[in-house]
Amino acid sequence: MVVETGNSQTEIGTIPKDWEVVKVKDITTFHKQGYYTKENYKTNGKYYLLRGTDMQNPEIDLSSTPKINANDYDYNAYKVIVNDFLIVRSGAIGRYGIVENPDLLGIFGSYLINFRFNDKIKVRYFGQLYQSQVALSQLLAITQGGANLNINAENIKALKIPLPSLPEQTAIATALSDMDELIAQTEKLIEKKKAIKQGVMQELLRPKEGWVTKKLGELVLRISTGLNPRTNFKLNTGGSNFYVTIKNFKNGKLFLDEKCDKIDDAALNIINNRSDLRTGDILLASIGRVGDLYLIKEHPKNWNINESVFTLRPNQSIIDSAFLCCLFGQNSIKSILDNGATGSTFQSIKVGDLKKLQFSFPQDLKMQKSISSTLFNFDNQLEKLEIKHNKLKLQKQGMMQALLTGKIRLV
């Protein structure tokens, strides 16, 4: 419910008058940076060596956490206890874990900072606050390290946070944790659906009696590319057409948005004369994410591609375009593309190597279309789940903004 109360303007924004603004140092009873392990420590002990990668906001994932012996460190100095708040200090601002299992035997490693709080704050409330804009905006203003951001205990202690009553903290943390659970459940459904699709794909595309094997060069009418601007044309000079590179399509989806470069009509005509995109053509990334693709389902009217994008035109009398996309999704093909790509820093693949890829398939086009329809149906289901997932995350952000500023009161 919404509770009408007066508000106060503070250094962190407008909050209810009955809330406080405190620094983290005012609610802290203990803080310590984690243990630097010895290079020769053994991983056959019974004490978990907690790492930054184990912290999952707020859970601590112990599935791959190493265990070490008590003799390798000062256990009492670095052991964790219930309600310890473990903050990842490098490269993952906003990530944390809360120790909630009283039977957990472990120590916190060097990439973690352990905080313990007094009885003025609920640790779950602080967890939600720590990943909100209230905290992140302050951290980003004071962190060090450029691309690999680093924080220290002093950064955390300097954070100014809103502090409602303990009952309201509990209510806020519970509401936001419930939303986290919905998001986590959706993520699990997505992963489960992906696993099912992979299993179905493996079975449907497994070569069977009567199937034939041909090289890609025998299955396509042409392989072409787009055009690099160079002296041909200029980007972003006021045109309204989209200039598509490998960054503008991913996982079967094309993104014609503000992140896409623009070209004018004259430039579009120049590229059209080279690439001649048509419905049924397949775009394929030739560098970076080698093998990522997009099936053109409608004739392009206001976009074309650059030279880093291959266009495959399947021979529709031999192989269906959608089915060929499915064949590219096989792990065996992905492995070949990954291992066969050249360039240690920015991987790429050559047309000659691409033409040598071998695919097994049924000659019956109706069977090909039936298989691709089944697999694309999985993609449609996954897309709906991902849309739901994104909506839930946006709802969570809205809830955080409302609840952590007191715009909506729960008690």
326: left (phi over 0), alpha (psi -120 to 50) or beta: alpha
3-state secondary structure of 271: helix
- Do 297 and 205 form a contact (C-beta atoms < 8 A)? no
What pLDDT score does 69 carry? 79
Measured CA to CA in angstroms, residue 398 lies from 60, 176, 307 at distances of 26, 10, 41
pLDDT in tens, 255-268: 999 999 999 999 99
Sequence-ordered strand ranges (E) for 184-287? 212-215, 220-225, 241-244, 249-250, 253-254, 261-263, 282-285
Q: What is the rounded CA–CA span in Å between residue 75 and residue 95?
A: 24
What pLDDT score does 42 carry? 64
- Longest CA span, the chain: 77
pLDDT in tens, 265-298: 999 999 998 888 999 999 999 888 888 999 999 9
Give me the amino acid identity at 101.
Answer: N
Q: What is the pTM of this model?
A: 0.83
Lookup result for tokens 């009492």: 76
| Domains within the chain, CATH numbers bracketed | 20-163 (3.90.220.20), 212-361 (3.90.220.20)
Confidence of residue 376 (pLDDT cuts 50, 70, 90): very high
Tell me the backbone φ, ψ of residue 147, rounded to 5 degrees: -65, -30
Mean pLDDT, rounded, for 219-223: 96
Q: pLDDT over 90 for what percent of the chain?
A: 71
Closest C-alpha to 247, from 300, 304, 303, 289: 289
Q: What is the rounded CA–CA span in Å between residue 177 and residue 166?
A: 16
Confidence of residue 2 (pLDDT cuts 50, 70, 90): very low
pLDDT in tens, 108-159: 988 999 999 999 999 999 999 999 988 888 888 876 555 457 888 998 999 9
- Do 296 and 276 form a contact (C-beta atoms < 8 A)? no
Q: What is the rounded CA–CA span in Å between residue 153 and residue 169?
A: 23
pLDDT in tens, 299-330: 999 999 999 999 999 999 999 999 999 999 99
